[in-house]
Amino acid sequence: MSLPSLGIPKYQLTVPSTKKTVTYRPFLVKEQKVLFMALESNDEKQILAAICATIESCVDGISNAYTMPMFDIEYIFTKIRSKSVGEVVDLKARCSNCQTLNDISMNLDDVEVIFPSGISNKIMLTDKIGIIIRYPCPLDANQNISGMNVEQVIDFICGSIESVFDENNVHTKKDFSDEEIRKFVESMSSTQFEIVGKFYTNLPSMKKEVKCRCIKCGTEFLATFTGMQDFFT
Protein backbone atom coordinates (compact mmCIF):
# COMPACT_ATOMS: atom_id res chain seq x y z
CA MET A 1 0.00 0.00 0.00
CA SER A 2 1.43 3.36 -1.00
CA LEU A 3 1.47 6.31 1.38
CA PRO A 4 -1.07 9.09 0.83
CA SER A 5 -0.01 12.03 -1.30
CA LEU A 6 0.24 15.38 0.45
CA GLY A 7 -1.70 18.03 -1.43
CA ILE A 8 0.49 20.94 -2.50
CA PRO A 9 -1.30 24.23 -3.17
CA LYS A 10 -0.70 26.16 -6.38
CA TYR A 11 -0.59 29.92 -6.82
CA GLN A 12 -0.16 32.36 -9.68
CA LEU A 13 2.06 35.38 -10.16
CA THR A 14 2.89 37.77 -12.98
CA VAL A 15 6.55 37.80 -14.06
CA PRO A 16 7.55 41.49 -13.91
CA SER A 17 9.70 41.62 -17.05
CA THR A 18 7.37 39.71 -19.39
CA LYS A 19 3.97 40.33 -17.72
CA LYS A 20 3.22 36.63 -18.24
CA THR A 21 1.25 34.69 -15.62
CA VAL A 22 2.93 31.56 -14.23
CA THR A 23 1.87 28.95 -11.70
CA TYR A 24 4.06 28.12 -8.70
CA ARG A 25 4.04 26.15 -5.49
CA PRO A 26 5.70 26.61 -2.07
CA PHE A 27 9.13 25.07 -1.65
CA LEU A 28 9.29 21.69 0.05
CA VAL A 29 11.58 20.35 2.78
CA LYS A 30 14.04 19.01 0.19
CA GLU A 31 14.39 22.48 -1.36
CA GLN A 32 14.42 24.24 2.00
CA LYS A 33 17.33 22.03 3.07
CA VAL A 34 19.38 23.14 0.06
CA LEU A 35 18.55 26.79 0.78
CA PHE A 36 19.61 26.45 4.43
CA MET A 37 22.89 24.82 3.45
CA ALA A 38 23.60 27.61 0.97
CA LEU A 39 22.81 30.32 3.54
CA GLU A 40 25.07 28.65 6.11
CA SER A 41 27.92 28.69 3.61
CA ASN A 42 27.75 32.52 3.30
CA ASP A 43 28.83 31.99 -0.30
CA GLU A 44 26.95 34.31 -2.66
CA LYS A 45 27.35 31.94 -5.61
CA GLN A 46 25.94 29.01 -3.65
CA ILE A 47 23.04 31.11 -2.39
CA LEU A 48 22.20 32.32 -5.90
CA ALA A 49 22.45 28.75 -7.24
CA ALA A 50 20.08 27.50 -4.53
CA ILE A 51 17.59 30.29 -5.23
CA CYS A 52 17.64 29.62 -8.98
CA ALA A 53 17.25 25.87 -8.40
CA THR A 54 14.28 26.55 -6.12
CA ILE A 55 12.60 28.69 -8.77
CA GLU A 56 13.16 26.03 -11.42
CA SER A 57 11.62 23.39 -9.15
CA CYS A 58 8.66 25.43 -7.92
CA VAL A 59 7.57 27.42 -10.98
CA ASP A 60 5.95 25.79 -13.99
CA GLY A 61 7.67 26.55 -17.27
CA ILE A 62 10.95 27.96 -15.91
CA SER A 63 13.85 25.64 -16.72
CA ASN A 64 16.83 28.02 -16.48
CA ALA A 65 16.45 30.83 -13.96
CA TYR A 66 20.01 31.98 -14.65
CA THR A 67 18.82 33.58 -17.88
CA MET A 68 16.17 35.67 -16.13
CA PRO A 69 16.61 39.30 -15.02
CA MET A 70 17.79 39.63 -11.44
CA PHE A 71 14.69 41.55 -10.41
CA ASP A 72 12.48 38.71 -11.76
CA ILE A 73 14.45 36.19 -9.71
CA GLU A 74 14.20 38.27 -6.55
CA TYR A 75 10.49 38.87 -7.00
CA ILE A 76 9.59 35.26 -7.83
CA PHE A 77 11.65 33.86 -4.95
CA THR A 78 10.03 36.36 -2.56
CA LYS A 79 6.59 35.14 -3.63
CA ILE A 80 7.62 31.48 -3.23
CA ARG A 81 9.10 32.21 0.18
CA SER A 82 5.95 34.04 1.34
CA LYS A 83 3.78 31.02 0.53
CA SER A 84 6.28 28.60 2.05
CA VAL A 85 7.12 30.03 5.48
CA GLY A 86 4.82 33.04 5.89
CA GLU A 87 3.93 36.33 4.27
CA VAL A 88 5.12 38.54 7.15
CA VAL A 89 8.81 39.23 7.81
CA ASP A 90 10.37 41.17 10.68
CA LEU A 91 12.86 43.80 9.57
CA LYS A 92 14.99 46.59 11.01
CA ALA A 93 14.66 50.23 9.93
CA ARG A 94 17.31 52.77 10.93
CA CYS A 95 16.03 56.17 12.05
CA SER A 96 17.19 58.95 9.75
CA ASN A 97 17.64 61.27 12.73
CA CYS A 98 19.20 59.32 15.61
CA GLN A 99 20.21 56.11 13.75
CA THR A 100 18.29 53.89 16.16
CA LEU A 101 17.21 50.55 14.72
CA ASN A 102 13.44 50.11 14.79
CA ASP A 103 11.57 46.82 14.53
CA ILE A 104 8.94 46.71 11.77
CA SER A 105 6.84 43.99 10.13
CA MET A 106 6.21 43.80 6.41
CA ASN A 107 3.86 41.70 4.32
CA LEU A 108 5.80 40.27 1.38
CA ASP A 109 2.63 40.15 -0.69
CA ASP A 110 2.77 43.95 -0.80
CA VAL A 111 6.23 43.99 -2.38
CA GLU A 112 6.40 44.80 -6.09
CA VAL A 113 9.03 45.49 -8.75
CA ILE A 114 9.32 49.19 -9.51
CA PHE A 115 10.08 50.17 -13.09
CA PRO A 116 11.77 53.60 -13.31
CA SER A 117 9.81 56.13 -15.31
CA GLY A 118 11.09 56.62 -18.85
CA ILE A 119 13.36 53.56 -18.78
CA SER A 120 12.64 50.60 -21.06
CA ASN A 121 14.60 47.78 -22.65
CA LYS A 122 13.21 49.01 -25.96
CA ILE A 123 15.57 51.85 -26.79
CA MET A 124 15.02 54.17 -29.74
CA LEU A 125 18.29 55.40 -31.25
CA THR A 126 16.61 57.45 -34.00
CA ASP A 127 12.99 58.10 -34.94
CA LYS A 128 12.95 54.83 -36.89
CA ILE A 129 15.79 52.65 -35.55
CA GLY A 130 15.93 51.00 -32.15
CA ILE A 131 17.17 48.02 -30.18
CA ILE A 132 15.75 45.55 -27.70
CA ILE A 133 18.28 44.91 -24.95
CA ARG A 134 18.03 42.24 -22.28
CA TYR A 135 17.97 43.07 -18.61
CA PRO A 136 21.07 41.87 -16.69
CA CYS A 137 20.78 38.26 -15.50
CA PRO A 138 22.81 36.29 -12.92
CA LEU A 139 25.52 35.65 -15.50
CA ASP A 140 26.07 39.43 -15.46
CA ALA A 141 25.77 39.80 -11.69
CA ASN A 142 29.44 40.73 -11.24
CA GLN A 143 29.43 43.17 -14.14
CA ASN A 144 29.38 46.83 -13.11
CA ILE A 145 29.21 48.98 -16.20
CA SER A 146 30.34 52.06 -14.29
CA GLY A 147 33.68 50.36 -13.58
CA MET A 148 34.37 49.28 -17.17
CA ASN A 149 36.52 50.92 -19.79
CA VAL A 150 35.01 51.83 -23.17
CA GLU A 151 35.99 48.56 -24.86
CA GLN A 152 34.45 46.51 -22.03
CA VAL A 153 31.24 48.55 -22.16
CA ILE A 154 31.00 48.00 -25.93
CA ASP A 155 31.52 44.24 -25.47
CA PHE A 156 28.89 44.15 -22.75
CA ILE A 157 26.30 46.03 -24.80
CA CYS A 158 26.99 43.93 -27.90
CA GLY A 159 26.33 40.77 -25.90
CA SER A 160 23.12 42.20 -24.44
CA ILE A 161 21.36 43.32 -27.62
CA GLU A 162 18.56 40.92 -28.46
CA SER A 163 17.38 42.58 -31.66
CA VAL A 164 17.78 45.62 -33.88
CA PHE A 165 14.74 47.00 -35.67
CA ASP A 166 13.60 49.74 -38.00
CA GLU A 167 10.21 50.59 -39.50
CA ASN A 168 10.40 47.64 -41.93
CA ASN A 169 12.46 44.85 -40.32
CA VAL A 170 13.44 43.20 -37.06
CA HIS A 171 16.92 41.64 -36.92
CA THR A 172 17.38 39.12 -34.10
CA LYS A 173 20.61 37.52 -32.86
CA LYS A 174 20.45 34.77 -35.47
CA ASP A 175 20.41 37.41 -38.19
CA PHE A 176 23.70 39.16 -37.39
CA SER A 177 27.26 38.17 -36.52
CA ASP A 178 29.36 39.40 -33.60
CA GLU A 179 31.30 41.57 -36.02
CA GLU A 180 28.15 43.12 -37.44
CA ILE A 181 26.65 44.00 -34.07
CA ARG A 182 29.93 45.47 -32.88
CA LYS A 183 30.15 47.61 -36.01
CA PHE A 184 26.58 48.74 -35.36
CA VAL A 185 27.33 49.70 -31.74
CA GLU A 186 30.53 51.51 -32.68
CA SER A 187 28.60 53.51 -35.27
CA MET A 188 26.42 55.07 -32.55
CA SER A 189 26.87 58.74 -31.74
CA SER A 190 28.04 59.70 -28.25
CA THR A 191 24.49 60.71 -27.37
CA GLN A 192 23.03 57.39 -28.56
CA PHE A 193 25.70 55.43 -26.69
CA GLU A 194 24.93 57.42 -23.55
CA ILE A 195 21.21 56.62 -23.87
CA VAL A 196 22.02 52.90 -23.98
CA GLY A 197 24.38 53.19 -21.02
CA LYS A 198 21.72 55.00 -19.00
CA PHE A 199 19.55 51.89 -19.21
CA TYR A 200 22.03 50.02 -16.97
CA THR A 201 22.20 52.72 -14.31
CA ASN A 202 18.45 52.86 -13.66
CA LEU A 203 17.22 49.26 -13.69
CA PRO A 204 13.93 47.99 -12.23
CA SER A 205 14.19 46.73 -8.67
CA MET A 206 12.10 45.05 -6.01
CA LYS A 207 11.29 47.89 -3.65
CA LYS A 208 9.04 48.83 -0.75
CA GLU A 209 8.81 52.05 1.25
CA VAL A 210 7.47 51.96 4.81
CA LYS A 211 6.52 54.90 7.02
CA CYS A 212 8.06 54.58 10.47
CA ARG A 213 8.16 56.46 13.77
CA CYS A 214 11.37 56.09 15.77
CA ILE A 215 10.90 54.45 19.16
CA LYS A 216 13.69 56.60 20.64
CA CYS A 217 13.35 60.13 19.27
CA GLY A 218 9.86 60.02 17.76
CA THR A 219 11.01 61.15 14.32
CA GLU A 220 8.83 60.05 11.42
CA PHE A 221 10.89 58.73 8.53
CA LEU A 222 10.53 56.69 5.35
CA ALA A 223 12.42 53.38 5.32
CA THR A 224 13.24 52.03 1.87
CA PHE A 225 13.92 48.33 1.28
CA THR A 226 15.42 47.40 -2.09
CA GLY A 227 16.39 43.96 -3.38
CA MET A 228 16.14 40.56 -1.80
CA GLN A 229 18.98 41.10 0.66
CA ASP A 230 17.08 43.93 2.37
CA PHE A 231 13.98 41.79 2.80
CA PHE A 232 15.65 38.73 4.29
CA THR A 233 18.32 40.08 6.64
Report if residue 1 sits inside a domain: no
168 by Cβ neighbours in 10 Å (0-12 / 13-18 / 19+) ranks as exposed
Range of the domain at 214: 89-109+206-233
- Does 132 lie in the same domain as 197? yes
CA 35 from chain center: how many Å?
19
Residue 116 lies in a domain: no
d(Cα 100, Cα 86) in Å, to the nearest integer? 27
Its pTM stands at 0.85
Mean per-residue pLDDT for 193-216? 90
Residue 94 burial (CB count, 10 A):
14
pLDDT tens profile 122-132: 999 999 999 99
- Residue 141 reports pLDDT greater than 60: no
Q: Are 95 and 102 in contact (CB under 8 A)?
A: yes
Does 140 fall in a domain? yes
Identity of the amino acid at 97: N
DSSP category for residue 68: S
Q: Same domain for 52 and 12?
A: yes
**C-alpha 142: how far from chain center:** 14
Q: What is the side-by-side strand order in the sheet with 205-213? A: 112-114, 205-213, 220-226
Confidence band of 66 (pLDDT split at 50, 70, 90): very high
Give SS3 for 118.
coil
Distance CA 67, CA 217 (A): 46
**Residue 115 within any structural domain of the chain:** no
Q: Which of 9-18, 75-84, 139-148 has the lowest mean pLDDT?
A: 139-148
In this prediction, residue 233 carries a pLDDT of 53
Contact assessment for residue 185 and residue 229, using Cβ atoms and an 8 Å cutoff? no
pLDDT at site 143:
58
| Structural domain includes residue 24 | yes
The answer as to whether 114 is a domain residue is no
As for how many domains the chain has, the answer is: 3
Structure confidence at residue 157 as a pLDDT band (50, 70, 90): very high
What's the CATH code of the domain at 19?
A: 3.30.2220.20
